[in-house]
Chains A and B, each alone.
Chain A
């Protein structure tokens, strides 16, 4: 597979607790991975929240593990830097995974980058860094809009604008879409359609109405559908069979 033509497809899920409606989010993340979509998760924690709430955030790690991505639990204040770090790491990890599966085809089943001597590993890593910088990125951001998140949404908004600064400093091309869950009518609502800039975000969050339920699983499923529809639509229009890189090869 030619990585240079490919597009990285990532989901960034921002939540503060446990899902309580619909499909199991961990299963949906595994499904996403099968589609070559990486799921990264950020769990937001309040500075003085009780201990039992922290345990609820265990789900955060489980989702990212099964989605082949990266997770991080943070206090609200550190959100900005974490959002960009997790996204970047998630991208690197996806590319790393693809290269590992390529290596396995060449060198045999149990070979990974870690098994190479340090000098060779350095060369491979340079390729990974290159790709992370130059590949196009399609990112769907899923924001938990359940009641407890209401006070944190201003910070989330700020951190997403910050993320846009980071990603648009890359050489590759970016497309973002923003979804909230639960939406007004459905489990998921598309707040911002595909756009190269996240500046329009300010108005998007004011439309949000926080609800009581947290349908995390259905939200991930909606993201998968969005990616697949987009892909087939584009193929229909342009006729080109653009390649997506599959992160499930490791």
Chain B
């Protein structure tokens, strides 16, 4: 029984229409289809007594129970539900094997990438703000998400909202991160430890943004930190958020809230700068939105600027003369 989790990892799959019954609580679930599979098991859409649910079965009983513990903690500490709520935990017998499973609320939504395909790029920033709001609550409760990545998120709605679907990597603050994915792990990029602290999640949150701008991801070169900075700078989608993302990547934020507030103010500023774009007053027009201004105005502005520049040069020249004569 101990060897269940050696490399063999007997991956077995349930088929659509198959029914499983819990050994302890006797609840029955009938499998509708597979939703996805990961390192610790497979998630299925199934129908239970009270409608559609998500059932996760695993070959590694220890990992499954660990995840259940995390889900239980979620229901214990939060007033607001962060992850999917836990419905049932049980085992079912399949041939000779006893297979552990747990049942969660089924969240209907789109993956981050699907969502961003159909929506304007500014949504990326808003989704990040939502994510940071939730992270703040999680951190305050003494937990760190750990394996934060697009695969573990879902956009539900409308109204559109980011939700967490896989909270298996969630770790108590101060411990070591249980589960991670290299691209989203600051240890991999040489930018910190794998200690569970808020800044670990904030790094991953910044990397999610980078991943949205670079859906193919990329491999680490020698100087991971510098490479990520370049990636942010070179993307038109990310560069407006450069200061926030870099602080997130370099572990400069102490809390998710701090990062969230910075993010919100960048999003606000972006909006206002666009609205105040066509100012009629002289000097600013030439550089900002010259093309839209009427020709006559433009001419006058150019003249005004020439005079301004001329008088400036004249003053500088005067100073020069004075300093020479002294």
The answer to whether B6 touches A170 (Cβ under 8 A) is no
Whether a CB of chain B sits under 8 angstroms from the CB of A121 is yes
CB-nearest residue of chain B to A71? B7
Complex Cα–Cα for A141 and B284 (A): 66
Among B6, B182, B188, max chain A CB count under 10 A is at B6
Given A114-B98, A133-B176, are A65 and B65 also a contact pair (CB < 8 Å)? no
Whether a CB of chain A sits under 8 angstroms from the CB of B201 is no
The answer to whether A121 touches B2 (Cβ under 8 A) is no
Mask for A214-250, Cβ within 8 A of B = 1, else 0? 0000000000000000000000000000000000001
Q: How many residues of B contact A (CB 8 A)?
A: 33
Whether a CB of chain B sits under 8 angstroms from the CB of A166 is yes
- What residues on A are CB-neighbors of B180 within 8 Å? 81
Complex Cα–Cα for A88 and B180 (A): 13
Whether a CB of chain B sits under 8 angstroms from the CB of A144 is no
- What residues on B are CB-neighbors of A72 within 8 Å? 7
Q: Which of B66-74, B232-240, B273-281, B290-298 makes up part of the contact surface?
A: B66-74
The answer to whether B2 touches A250 (Cβ under 8 A) is yes
The answer to whether B68 touches A81 (Cβ under 8 A) is no
Among residues 63 to 114 in chain A, which have CB atoms less than 8 Å away from a CB atom of chain B?
64-65, 68, 70-73, 80-81, 88-89, 92-93, 96-97, 100, 112-114
Among candidates B1, B89, B194, residue contacting A114 with C-beta atoms closer than 8 Å: B1
The answer to whether A65 touches B3 (Cβ under 8 A) is yes
- What residues on B are CB-neighbors of A167 within 8 Å? 176
CB-nearest residue of chain B to A133? B175
The answer to whether A125 touches B182 (Cβ under 8 A) is no
- What residues on B are CB-neighbors of A212 within 8 Å? none
- What residues on B are CB-neighbors of A100 within 8 Å? 2
Mask for B162-184, Cβ within 8 A of A = 1, else 0? 00000000000011111010100
CB-nearest residue of chain B to A118? B89
Complex Cα–Cα for A112 and B68 (A): 19
The answer to whether B187 touches A122 (Cβ under 8 A) is no
Whether a CB of chain B sits under 8 angstroms from the CB of A12 is no
- What residues on A are CB-neighbors of B65 within 8 Å? 118, 121-122, 125
Complex Cα–Cα for A61 and B8 (A): 8
Determine how close the nearest CB of chain B comes to the CB of A124; give it in whole angstroms.
8
Complex Cα–Cα for A68 and B195 (A): 28
The answer to whether A70 touches B69 (Cβ under 8 A) is no
Determine how close the nearest CB of chain B comes to the CB of A144; give it in whole angstroms.
17
Whether a CB of chain B sits under 8 angstroms from the CB of A150 is no
The answer to whether B6 touches A64 (Cβ under 8 A) is yes
Determine how close the nearest CB of chain A comes to the CB of B186; give it in whole angstroms.
10
The answer to whether A166 touches B7 (Cβ under 8 A) is no
Among candidates B1, B5, B24, B188, residue contacting A80 with C-beta atoms closer than 8 Å: B188
- What residues on A are CB-neighbors of B134 within 8 Å? none
- What residues on A are CB-neighbors of B5 within 8 Å? 70, 89, 93
- What residues on A are CB-neighbors of B175 within 8 Å? 133, 170-171
Q: Please count the residue pairs between chain A and chain B whose beta carbons lie under 8 angstroms apart in the complex.
A: 88
Among residues 68 to 89 in chain B, which have CB atoms less than 8 Å away from a CB atom of chain A?
68-69, 72, 89
The answer to whether A126 touches B176 (Cβ under 8 A) is no
Whether a CB of chain A sits under 8 angstroms from the CB of B193 is yes
Whether a CB of chain B sits under 8 angstroms from the CB of A24 is no
The answer to whether A112 touches B1 (Cβ under 8 A) is yes
The answer to whether A125 touches B69 (Cβ under 8 A) is yes
Complex Cα–Cα for A250 and B65 (A): 20
- What residues on B are CB-neighbors of A113 within 8 Å? 61-62
The answer to whether B69 touches A166 (Cβ under 8 A) is no
Among A61, A80, A121, max chain B CB count under 10 A is at A121
Whether a CB of chain B sits under 8 angstroms from the CB of A30 is no
Complex Cα–Cα for A85 and B217 (A): 22
- What residues on B are CB-neighbors of A96 within 8 Å? 2, 62
CB-nearest residue of chain B to A42? B7
Given A93-B2, A97-B2, A169-B176, are A125 and B66 also a contact pair (CB < 8 Å)? yes
Among residues 40 to 64 in chain A, which have CB atoms less than 8 Å away from a CB atom of chain B?
60-61, 64
The answer to whether A118 touches B69 (Cβ under 8 A) is no
Q: List 9 A-B contacts (CB under 8 A).
A: A65-B3, A70-B7, A80-B182, A89-B5, A119-B89, A122-B89, A166-B177, A170-B176, A250-B2
Identify the 3 closest CB pairs spanning chains A and B, nearest first: A169-B176, A169-B194, A125-B65
Give the interface of A toward B (CB within 8 A).
Answer: 60-61, 64-65, 68, 70-73, 80-81, 88-89, 92-93, 96-97, 100, 112-114, 117-119, 121-122, 125-126, 128-129, 133, 162, 165-171, 250
4 more CB-based (< 8 A) A-B contacts, given A80-B182, A93-B2, A166-B187: A61-B8, A71-B7, A165-B187, A171-B176
